[in-house]
Structure 1
Amino acid sequence: MLVVDKLGKTYGTGATQYEAIDEISFEVRRGEFVCIVGPSGCGKTTLLKAMAGLHSPTRGVTRLNDRAVTGPPAEMAVVFQEYGRSLMPWLTVKDNVLLPLRSRKMSSAERKQRVAESLNSVGLGAAGEKYPWQLSGGMQQRVAIARALAYKPDILLMDEPFASVDAQTRGDLEDLILKVRDEFGVTIVLVTHDIDESVYLSDRIVVLTNAPTRVNEVIDVDLGKPRDQVETKELPAFAHLRAHVYRLIRHREAEQ
């Protein structure tokens, strides 16, 4: 579904030139949940923005459904880490979720139904008249997820979406995104610095090197379904995968 083909990104020129991404290639299959992890500062967010068409790569290409991504594709939605900056504080929760639907050709009744379905799917069916600043951080991120789901994208990109919440809320949001992935049938690519999160959520993990970044390894995750915050993380296979990813990242950081 999504192909990243020899993608590279260089900033500046001459003596100030900085090669953020050397050459990255991998694929995402339809319906898959893929996590991208790597050493701190390796260019994970730069990669995601290039995949989303939010900035242009210096070389290489991303293809979605066999078409080159040259700008934000209509079939794609993005959820960012800083939910406080992506939600409009002067709009109610339901109006925030409605926002991307205003450009879609559909009736007012259909828009209203989509908003209600999306809010219900993230457990905020009764919060539509509240404002983002009246909600906790975890609830605000649920609003951001609901807004993306209301758009009904084929693929959802997420940039460290749970990094700004506490551990318990993070676990709840991880389980939520697995639930809505199955409910909406959406393909998900999630950038994270959290190794446990990448193993818990993924069908496959793309492990990156230090900048200038390349793909270190692509790891299949076979932990079965459904997944549980306690039972899954007690599995020997989970511990093995976590240790393997950690070794890859620590080895690369040590080389820096």
Structure 2
Amino acid sequence: MKAILLLFASAVLAVAETVTFTPSLDSDVYAYFDAPSFTPDSLNVGAHPTQAHSHHSLVQFNISTLAIPAAEIGTAKLRLFSLIPNSSNGGGLRGGNVSVHRQGQAWSLSPTLRWNHIKPQELAGTITMTAASTEVWVEVDVTTLVKQWAAGTVPNYGFVLKPESETLEPLLNVEFASMELTSFKPQLVITRSTAPVPNPVLSIAKQGNQITLAWPVTGSTGWTLQEADNLSGPWTASTATPASSAGVWQVSATAGSRKFFRLYKP
């Protein structure tokens, strides 16, 4: 019996790709102590007219494993879980704007993170906090900065969270969950701008002693029709010239001895 075996190119689901990172490092810094505050499970952001009792925070994400190229990043959002501020850190929640900046230098918790280690550079986004902004997730679009990190045009030292104003009444006082709170860690959510194009799928139709191989034109750039007498190969490019019709490539041939076909992309 004459037989023809068809191999299908694997398909990729055309769904938006989203990657979520959690911090590699985070901390707040209390100006009065010139050191991290005594609440490591939270990141405080608070204002003071002279900055003597201000709190600023740092959050850093390692995105070195990100497989989405910078040019294909559609959105990047910083997500934070808002807590009820500790009264010993300046009273209850007082709303206002939290400015999110690019941190301008490398930092660590050891030996001791200092106030002057916080180096806010250009503004990346703003989070508006209200009286209702407690025990909820809040987010800010930071796409432009994350694209720069992914492209390597600016170094990734993380984000600075600071009051937009140190003097505007009521003086800002908010807290966010730190990476110490497992279920509420800060998140950097990055989504690809467009879904990947599905790999072309090869199909076969037989009528009498004629066979027709077909695959879609869309998404087939760089793919080659190959054939072999055995699954183990050797595989060689088909000498047939595909014809395009109604958005489909087609190759017709007369059925003969056993033959294997596949679409291949290096």
Structures share fold, TM-score greater than 0.5: no
TM range (shorter): under 0.3
TM-score (norm 2): 0.21
Which structure: larger Rg?
2
More contact order relative to length (CA 8 Å, sep ≥ 6): 2
Structure with greater proportional helix content: 1
Higher percent of residues as strand: 2
